[in-house]
Amino acid sequence: MVYSDAKIFLKGLTMRENKLRTPEGVTDYLPKDYALKKEIESRIETVFYRYGYSFITSPTFEYSEVFGDSSDSAAIYKFIDRDGAVLALRPDLTPPIARIASTNYSYEDAPLRFCYVENAFRYNESYQGKLREFTQAGVELIGVSSDDADAEVIAVAINSLIAAGISDFRVDIGQVEFLKGVIEEASLTEDDNNVLMGHILNKDFAETEKFISSKQTPGGVKTILSDLSFYIGDIGILSGCRDLVTNNRALTAIRRLEDIYGILKGYGLEKYVSFDLSMLGMLDYYTGIIFRGYARGAGFSVIDGGRYDRLCGSFGKNFPAVGFAIRVNNLMPVFESQNIIIPAPAADTLVAYTEEGRDAALNAADELRSGGLFVENSLLGGDPEQNIAYAKKKNIGGLIYFKDNKRAELIDCVGGARRNISVAELLNAPNLISGRGVNDRAMKERGASS
């Protein structure tokens, strides 16, 4: 009986603790962080629109089969509905958009340009510090397979980071066909291929070198696979690799990377681009270029993208496709690290009033909001000094104190200037109020006292 009572007590304690915290991998956004997140999203959305992409949205959860061949099954949150169907919270936005394209559009509709800013859900290991609910902002260019299409998507990704206010970043571009061609030229057994690709996927270059050194492979191929960590850099590494392989698949991949680089130079974006020939990505997902973006201050990649020409076919249409997703949450620490300031919308004027001045105050506040100001109504009563202290605490520049329905006082909470004014004059002289609150200069020109 005592043991049972203890279990009930501990269960109740856990339930109370759970009410006071969030589960692993999710987070609250307080006003400052929320404002930063929404501003980043807004700036990125503008870039998407300007490149001709149209926003769409998909359900938060779908039948699990939608994600069956494109995502790590162990990372998907699944549940069973009352009808017995297995549903999944979307771990990625690309498969649902591939489904939408394949079931709603024909080949004649191509190219399809879709974009989104949505939350996704993935069971990431908590020790890695990754969120399990996160926001992706991305584009999908569907129905075209060309170097121009690949370059456009990379250009949109780069310009999205620039528009967000970030300058210290790079985008590494790879080509999965290059390594597949190199491995093909190595003439290994299927089992050896799988082992080798596993090492490369894990970026375990030491094991890759150790493994390939024990195999009989052509000299150039052995050099590339032994020194993969050195094949990350500028455009020059491509010509260096060309001299080491004879496999047409690998050579075609190098040529396409060079062509894409030439197009990106036309965009004027080459300074943000480097190459990583060790990239493979998910073996059954990416079919051509693959790219990742990194920014100083972010612990993980902030952009992940590439070409995935087989995905739409699993939904009935063999559309080629290329796209990317920006992890908005991964971007947020970059702003603090790089000392990038994004002003958050906040009240610039506080309106306080006595009971006799309430009607005039509420009417005037709405008039000022209609004129573009951010006006907060005070709920502290009619004590001017108390309201001044509150305004300073909230970094609100100016206070308008309504003594009654005909008389008000303008107070510059920063400079200290004060001026009595009629309500009629206040509403007819909007230049007395600026985006910082009460306009100190205009007040002094009209005879304000300090």
Mean pLDDT of 352-377: 92
Q: What residue spans in the chain does CATH classification 3.40.50.800 cover?
A: 349-445
Q: How confident is the model at residue 190 (pLDDT cuts 50, 70, 90)?
A: confident
Question: Which pLDDT score, from 0 to 100, does residue 114 have?
Answer: 98
Question: Which pLDDT score, from 0 to 100, does residue 435 have?
Answer: 43
Across the strands, what pairs with 304?
A: 292, 325
pTM of the model: 0.86
CATH architecture of 349-445: 3-Layer(aba) Sandwich (3.40)
Q: What residue spans in the chain does CATH classification 3.30.930.10 cover?
A: 31-337
Question: What one-character DSSP code corresponds to residue 449?
Answer: B
3-state secondary structure 125-150: CHHHCCCCEEEEEEEEEECCCCHHHH
CATH architecture of 31-337: 2-Layer Sandwich (3.30)
d(CA 198, CA 280): 10
* pLDDT (tens digit per residue) in 98-135: 999 999 999 999 999 999 999 999 987 655 668 999 99
Question: What one-character DSSP code corresponds to residue 431?
Answer: G
What are the structure tokens assigned to 421, written together? 């004014």
